[in-house]
Amino acid sequence: WRQSIDERAQEVASLDDALLKERAVDLQDVGHRVLRLLADTLEEEPGTFTMPVILVAEDLSPSDTARLDPAMILGICTAGGGPTSHTAIIARSLDIPAIVGAGPAVLHQPEDSLCILDGDAGNLYLEPGDGDLHLAHQVQQQWQALREAERLACYQPAITTDGQRIEVVANIGGASEAEQAVAAGAEGIGLLRSEFLFLQRAEPPSEDEQFIAYSAMTRALNGLPLIIRTLDIGGDKEVPYLSLPAEDNPFLGVRGIRLCLARSDLFRPQLRAIYRAAATGPVKIMFPMIATVEELRAARAIAEEVRVELGAAVVDIGIMIEVPSAVLMAPELAAHADFFSVGTNDLTQYVLAMDRGHPSLARQADALHPAVLRMIDMTVKAATAAGRWVGVCGGMAGEPKGAMILAGLGVAELSMSIPSVAAIKSRLRAQSLVDMQALAKRALACQSAAEVRAL
């Protein structure tokens, strides 16, 4: 089995098409999972290390990353992938320092060699000397002291020095994370990636199972808001048991709301579970990947049918702004949506036409690119004119530079991975809105992401 899978994966990896090439990792992933079932144990299974290590790999699948034990994995460095791939998103939520897209050279290190991984700067230092190690330990201690100070202040709201409050909420993927989010200082959940409840299993969770999961979250949140994004399957999030047809361009294919509209057997039970859970706490619904007004109207109509069937109360319905057409149609979409949340991970890849998981392009697919910032600016202006609020739940919201520019652009709510909450709140408390507005204005006028970062 292993030999055949390896051979096939090598064949796929040697294809010219970059997108197909990347599927080699998926093939290996499936191969390993089958192997795990065939064999009782498998030494190489990620997460079964006997001592803490930095894991260096060609690439990791989202499901492998989700299984990693943060106590044993000090850091991750992958040759492929991009910073907004779902593998990187999961690593961030597990608080594992990671470097992705480092190129194949990193794979040539001897297995037991020593290295220093700096996830903030994206640097891997090979064969460090004693002086380097000493310095790294010092930096680590300073960093831990800073994080501890931020943690102690994590329940204080993010109010700027001139009195503007920015809501800081968390992105989660499962029921247990709601409690962790509150403990980390999040003021609610700005994005539940509900599709994560559908991964790593053999069939979709039933309506009742989903209701139990969503209401466990409202219980843990104890009155704080919960935004449940309806299924965003497709792209780099595959759900094998759905047996969806392979697509040449999965990121441009039947994903997100398109799949929900095509599969009412998935969409309706989920909406029923959400409306039932809304009776247990403040829940909002959010549709992913909206590209047209028709999609939003169709999704809303189904939601309303489900609500009436159940006799449930009305809840706010918002949309993700991830597709350039949604930005351009924001004034029209605002008439049918109670709020917007910008998904900068997808918006960046669609604005710049650069696959977010592409090994060589992902580096350039930077959400701080002025083209993306201008899109967000347009979205905020259209929403404000229609009396709607705008949040951001892409990776940019959890990056200090990104968070400041977003606050300056008039974004009201920032949603991020749990480990970023305390740090972003403390950064925002140290700034004035006026300064951040000035920063945002300068950023909008830049010519490149590098120029924006240099500000």
Which chain residues interact with ligand PEP by CB under 6 A?
A: 89, 191, 193, 232, 322, 343-346, 393-394
- Which ranges constitute the DSSP H helices of 222-263? 257-262
Identify which range of 4-12, 47-55, 344-352, 417-425 contacts Mg ion by CB under 5 A: 344-352
Which of Mg ion, ligand PEP, none is residue 413 near (CB under 5 to 8 Å by kind)?
Answer: none
| DSSP, res 15 | -
Give the C-alpha separation, 165 to 146, whole Å.
23
List active site positions.
86, 393
**How many Cβ atoms sit within 10 Å of the Cβ of residue 354?**
18
Give least dist CB 436 to Mg ion, A: 25
Which of ligand PEP, Mg ion, none is residue 391 near (CB under 5 to 8 Å by kind)?
Answer: none
Give least dist CB 306 to Mg ion, A: 23
User: Read out DSSP for 98-147?
Assistant: EE----GGGGGS-TT--EEEETTTTEEEES--HHHHHHHHHHHHHHHHHH
Name the residue nearer to Mg ion (CB basis): 307 or 356: 356
Name the residue nearer to ligand PEP (CB basis): 78 or 345: 345
Name the residue nearer to Mg ion (CB basis): 28 or 230: 230
* Cα separations in angstroms, 355 against 11, 81, 360, 427: 22, 10, 10, 30
Which of ligand PEP, Mg ion, none is residue 64 near (CB under 5 to 8 Å by kind)?
Answer: none
Give the C-alpha separation, 332 to 281, whole Å.
30
Residues 307-336 as x/- pattern, contact with Mg ion by CB under 5 A: ---------------x--------------
Q: Is residue 82 a contact residue for Mg ion (CB under 5 A)?
A: no
Give least dist CB 59 to ligand PEP, A: 17
Give the C-alpha separation, 451 to 455, whole Å.
7
Q: Is residue 187 a contact residue for Mg ion (CB under 5 A)?
A: no
Q: Which residues share a beta bridge with 320?
A: 341
User: Read out DSSP for 287-304?
Assistant: ESS--SHHHHHHHHHHHH
Name the residue nearer to ligand PEP (CB basis): 160 or 344: 344
Give least dist CB 148 to ligand PEP, A: 29
Q: Is residue 295 a contact residue for Mg ion (CB under 5 A)?
A: no
- Cβ-proximal residues to 352 (8 Å cutoff; 6+ apart), any chain: 364, 365, 369, 371, 372
Give least dist CB 171 to ligand PEP, A: 7
Which of ligand PEP, Mg ion, none is residue 393 near (CB under 5 to 8 Å by kind)?
Answer: ligand PEP
Q: Is residue 346 a contact residue for Mg ion (CB under 5 A)?
A: yes
**How many Cβ atoms sit within 10 Å of the Cβ of residue 183?**
14
User: Read out DSSP for 32-63?
Assistant: HHHHHHHSS--TT-TT--SS-EEEEES---HH
Chain CA centroid to CA 38, Å: 33
Which of Mg ion, ligand PEP, none is residue 344 near (CB under 5 to 8 Å by kind)?
Answer: ligand PEP
Give the C-alpha separation, 352 to 326, whole Å.
15
Give least dist CB 385 to ligand PEP, A: 24
The residues that touch Mg ion, with contacts defined as CB under 5 A, are 322, 343, 346
